[in-house]
Amino acid sequence: MGKDKVEIFDTTLRDGEQVPGCKLDTEQKLIIAERLDELGVDVIEAGFPISYSMWIDPRREKRH
């Protein structure tokens, strides 16, 4: 990474669900990830694959 670049590392999809009462379904997670990507976020941390295996496959299907 160069001196003149700020790298954005977003943890919304990982940390956001730790808020009491917050539960995102697969479609909501995909929408958030797509919006973050459109904004040019460099790294989108979506969580831990073992914990989120129920939504990894739909994401891959939609992306490919």
55, 49 contact by CB (below 8 A): no
Model pLDDT, residue 58: 52
Q: Is 23 helix (H, G, I), strand (E, B) or coil?
A: coil
In a domain? residue 9: no
Q: Is residue 34 part of a domain?
A: yes
At 35-61, the pLDDT tens digits run 999 999 999 988 765 555 555 555 555
The torsion defined by the Cα of 15, 9, 38 and 14, in degrees rounded to 10, comes to -20
Report if residue 2 sits inside a domain.
no
> Is residue 51 in a domain?
yes
User: Could you give the number of structural domains in the chain?
Assistant: 1
What is the arithmetic mean of pLDDT over 60-64? 48
pLDDT in tens, 13-28: 888 778 888 888 888 9
The pTM of this model reads 0.63
Any domain includes 6: no
57 is in which domain, residue-wise? Answer: 23-63
